[in-house]
Structure 1
Amino acid sequence: MAWRRYGRRKFPTRNSKPLSPSCLAITHDNDTRRGAFIQITEVSLMPLPPGLTESDFSDLLAEFGQAVGSEYVYSSDEHLQGYRDGVSPLYQTDQEPVPSAAVAPANVEEVQAVVRIANRYRIPFWVNSTGKNFGYGGPAGVVNGTVNLDLKRMNRILQVNEANAYALVEPGVSFFELYRYLRERDIKLWLDVPSPGWGSIIGNTIEYGLGYTDQGQRVNFLCGMEVVLPNGEVMRTGQGAIPGSQSWQHYRRSIGPRIDELFCQTNYGVVTKMGIWLRPEPPAYLACSIMTDRNEKIIPMIDTMRPLRLGGIINNNATLYRYPFVQEGEENPDNPGGWNNRVAFYGLKGVVRQHWEHVQDAYNDAMPGTTFASNLYTTPYDLDSLGRSPDRLMAGIPSLGSSLHKTYFSMALPFDGQAAWDLILLLDEASKRHGRRYFGMAHHVETPHEMVTTSSALLRPGDDEYNQTTMRMIKDWIVSTGEQGLGPYRVSTPYMDDAMAQFSFNNHRLLRFYEELKDVIDPNGIMAPGKNGIWPRHMRENRA
């Protein structure tokens, strides 16, 4: 492994601007034949990109500086600390993939330039923007020496159409920023948000992030992308492929296959614009909770919800949480608690009340003694003064969320109570093999046909032994569930290869198809190698 350790270097600057504070400026050297230069001295613990010498790396940073401005090229240990995954079980271990540099373009043309430079040097890069991606790998890649392509400067809200309920945004736009934009202009549209809400709308959506409204499976509400491909070309999907399109954010398809999800959870392109459908402000909104007192009552709770969700009575991303909330690792094994099923209704006041009464009757019939709570809100809304955090999330109001040290393994389940209970028992048995317990975590009913669970395990900063046990336990979860025909839909970076290995039908034909696409679209293998277990050819051969 090559690590940087260098002394005096010279970087050309654009328009004679000073170099980023990511380097230590020592003296200026004005050479009229070559332009303005800055001499720097730096000793770095960060690795070099694979295959590059220190001289190559200096040239690479200089070219990045010419493309985006040297003040937006970062290579010091101090600046790159923000591009490491500080809540990873691998953090500060020999296995941690550490970035070599970061570059922050301001527009699609600069993204194109950075991608073309990366191709010439054949160096890997990993894309991130304004979010933290806590628990799923943070901003860090999976290859040591990767360059981070940071899109946070691309933060424009390009269009909001109130009549047709959509927005067109760049990757640096957070949920908070779009929410404020709508409120400040008194635009009567609601958005769907995850918790926390300071992440990128594009980044969270294309990673299959979840919300809590009736648009909680947000990827189903994206409409049209602009993508920089690994060769630096720009492509627009759907109706956006028509020059001057009038329906790019109105209609999701074009002639031929719809390809937007080729750029979700993959390494086939950099999404630089995305349309997202919003929802008109409803005349009434009813936020409700359905609470049980025993862990095993998740079975009738889910089975009661299923016909209500399929029949359209409940239509938000109805989520089940542990109730009362107890911090992971502090549960009482004899009675770890019950469940809180949070549901919402949107529409006319009389209709939402009638739906809620019907739901209460159904749960009371299935589980006598169930506890209910609800809050009704009507127009004109004072959204910023809404009550409980769950009420705010189901109204599309972003929150600060939590930053606990956790690592996640999220998976798809049949919409079935017994399946959810069997999973809890399975993961508890796997956890016991590592000295831990598992009593169930959040279940999200994304659509009338789909349910997922977001399972996590705590990490202890600086406790390598504990964190390594956590890693082994989650890998055990992945294998154990795969053996039962259950698979993940989102995992943290240390487990991506393990997760992809579970999709093994017909000698891993799905993965081989992904690899065939990768080799055609990205022949140099520069874009996020290893993301979700998809590796370029030269790295597959080296790993074999």
Structure 2
Amino acid sequence: MAEPQFPPSVDAASAAQAIKAFEAALGADAVFFDDLDRDAYRDKFAIDDTKHIPLGAIAPGGAEEVQAAVRIANDYKIPLWPISRGKNLGYGASAPQLSGSVVLDLSRMRKIEIDEENGVALLEPGVGFYDLYDYLQANKIKLWMSVPGNSWGSVVGNALDRGVGYTTYGDHAAQIHGLEVVLPDGELVRTGMGAMEGSPNWNIHPYGFGPGWDQMFCQSNFGVVTKMGLWMMPEPESVYGLDMEFPEENDLEWVVDLLAKFRREKLVQQAPSIGSWLRGAAVLTTRSEWQDDKGPLTDATVAAIRERFNIGWWSANIRFYGYEGVNAAAAKTVKDAFNGRKLQSIKETAWRQGEPLEKSAWVGVPITFPLQNANWHGGRGGHVGYSPALPANGRRALDQFKRTKALYDEYGLDYHGSFALGERHITNVNQVLFDKDNPDMMGRVDGFFRALVADAWKQGYGEYRTHLDYMDLVASTFDFNDYALLRLNEKVKNALDPNGVIAPGKSGIWPARLAGERKQ
């Protein structure tokens, strides 16, 4: 069991008084500070189990209770670490950056409001992807969600951390339109048109008057989001799919260049995903099924995996959404462009309105099976994500792959990478899979991750999100003009949160009071 740890300048007596105040404000059944509670809120995929241990947790039931909790935190200078559902696995899950923080668990806040006519959801942070899907199905609402590969978590939390999905609405942070936020002093604000009392435009018009604050609360520690307006996709008339397999490593270059052109032209309007062979194998099987020794996977093993699943070195998945005739024309244009190229295979899929939905993220159905990849090595499995962004250019993508794979090989880990194409950029998503019961492997993971970040930094590539352990490291790579952006973020932090009570250290942003906790 985890022993209590106290944040800087807070002793056991002050913590005890704060706990009593939380109980009085929220009720004893919403306050969790015993050994089992501390264990429950730790990071189950942590590389180092001695880090990121909470003092306990509190679970407010609504915005007013969040306000009360924040005011108490200021009174006792107790840091709070807000989570929506705590399922951000691979990035820290429910654990805080600063040990001794109190987890502010918003999972009880689960209200859903849907404006079907305008395609908007107004959600509290405790609403999970399965909750929203069930609500839409039960009420026969003709709107589709966009879901991430692990749909166990919060819709609001995923968007705030700039999570991504598979449909045309897959850039989740871009779908945010209007927030309700408890500021670090306990004040409640609404952004955009929500700043006007009773405005029907709050979640419809993308801006308000004056500066726009919606994106300021993404990956930040400037407040606690208690409601979010999120645009959703009207149910399309049809979905058309192309699933393609490519036999060679070097195919990545020309595939990226071709798809990047279609993305810029908006012929392809979702983010096509190009994944390596291990992406499927790690979900469907375990390593021991293929190779007994713990050394690098042999060419024979890779060939056997590819043969069994009839997959290429790379697989690309593209989907078209909307009117059937438009989809058919767009798909034909893309398919024609691949004609004459070296493809291992191509599979076409089609769905029409009124047909049963397949159980896949391509059609907005929540999924969790990709989490099975944590069991690839056996033992207490886990993973951490490494995902730099780079220009949508085939040569750069291939070079990024080769450098990254060389580091996987150097550190004795299995390459698990994919490339998702935005309109002008690529996100290179890499899973670092490990077995927490293998001390030798775990001893390599931290050095490997730091080598990956250093390598990307040399190319001018930054990560789009990262694990708690590496927030300060990743923030240190954004170094223009002697870290001007970090200094700006911390000016805002210190102005809004002089006591540093909201998520100190989130995204490398530390309040002045706790600046000594920054990891160099």
- Secondary structure of the residue that 2:465 maps to in structure 1? strand
Separation in structure 2 between the aligned mates of residue 444 and residue 72 of structure 1, nearest angstrom: 40
Code of the residue aligned with 1:401 in structure 2: it is: F
Q: State the Cα distance separating 1:413 from its structure 2 match.
A: 1.1
Q: CA deviation at 1:312?
A: 2.0
Aligned AA (1:381): E
Give me the TM-score of the superposition, normalised by structure 1: 0.86
Residues 246 and 342, structure 2, Cα contact 8 Å, conserved in 1: no
Instruction: Tell me the alpha carbon deviations over residues 289-326 of structure 1, each in whole angstroms, 9 at most, x when there is no partner.
Output: 12111121110111111121222221112111113734
- Residue aligning to 1:77: 35
1:219 — aligned with what?
Answer: 173
Q: Which residue is 2:111 aligned to?
A: 156
- Write the letter of the residue equivalent to 2:204: H
Aligned with 2:84 (options 122, 129, 134): 129
Measure how far apart 1:397 and its partner are: 0.7
Residue 207 of structure 2 aligns with which residue? 253
AA aligned opposite 1:380: G
Q: Percent identity?
A: 34
RMSD: 1.9
Q: As a proportion of its length, which structure holds more helix?
A: 2
Task: Give unmatched runs, 5+ long, in structure 2.
Answer: 288-294, 304-311, 375-381
Q: Following TM superposition, by how much is the alpha carbon of 1:432 offset from its aligned partner in structure 2, in angstroms? A: 4.1
Residue aligning to 2:74: 119
1:234 aligned onto 2:182: no
Q: How does 1:299-338 map onto structure 2 within 5 Å?
A: 299-323=253-277, 325-327=280-282, 331-333=297-299, 338=313
Aligned to 1:61: 19
Q: Distance in 2 between matches of 1:479 and 1:510?
A: 19
Greater length-normalized contact order (CA 8 Å, ≥ 6 residues apart): 2
- In 1, Cα distance between equivalents of 2:455 and 2:229: 38
Aligned residue for 1:295, secondary structure, equals: coil
For the residues of structure 2 that align with 1:435 and 1:338, how far apart are their CA atoms?
A: 20
* Cα distance in 1, alignment partners of residues 356 and 474 from structure 2: 44
State the SS of the aligned residue for 1:495: helix
Is residue 146 from structure 1 mapped to residue 98 from structure 2 by the alignment?
no
Q: Is the 8 A contact 1:87 1:459 kept in 2?
A: no
Matched, 1:475 2:450: yes
The yes-or-no answer on 1:427 pairing with 2:404 is yes
- Pair 50,333 (structure 1): closer, same or farther in 2 beyond 3 Å: farther
Kept in 2: contact 1:430–1:480 (CA 8 A): no
1:519 aligns with 2:473: no
Maintained 8 Å contact 2:385/2:466: yes
Letter in structure 1 aligned against 2:489: Y
1:466 maps to 2:441 = yes
Pick from 348, 365, 368: which aligns with 1:397? 365
How far, CA to CA, are the matches of 1:333 and 1:414 in structure 2?
30
Deviations 1:17-72 (A, max 9, x none): xxxxxxxxxxxxxxxxxxxxxxxxxx971213332222222211110001111111
Structure showing the higher strand proportion among its residues: 1
Q: Which digits, 9 at most, give the CA deviation of each residue in 1:260-289, with x for residues without a partner?
A: 111000111100000000111111111221
Deviation string 1:324-355 (CA, Å, 9 cap, x unpaired) is: 73438874458675111111111222221222
Supply the distance in 2 between the matched residues of 1:58 and 1:147 (Cα, whole angstroms): 12
**Cα distance per residue 1:380-408 (max 9 Å; x no partner):** 1322xx1xx5xx21111111233311011
Q: Which amino acid aligns with 1:100?
A: L
Quote how far apart the aligned CAs of 1:182 are.
0.8
Larger radius of gyration: 1
CA distance in 1, matches of 2:249, 2:396: 14
- Would you say 1:412 and 2:389 are equivalent positions? yes
Give 1:341's aligned residue.
Answer: 316
Q: Taking structure 1 as reference, are residues 437 and 188 closer, same or farther at Cα in structure 2, changes over 3 Å only?
A: closer
Question: Which whole-Å deviations, capped at 9, do the CAs of 1:440-486 have from their partners, x for residues lacking one?
Answer: 6121113x212211112122123344223101110111011101111
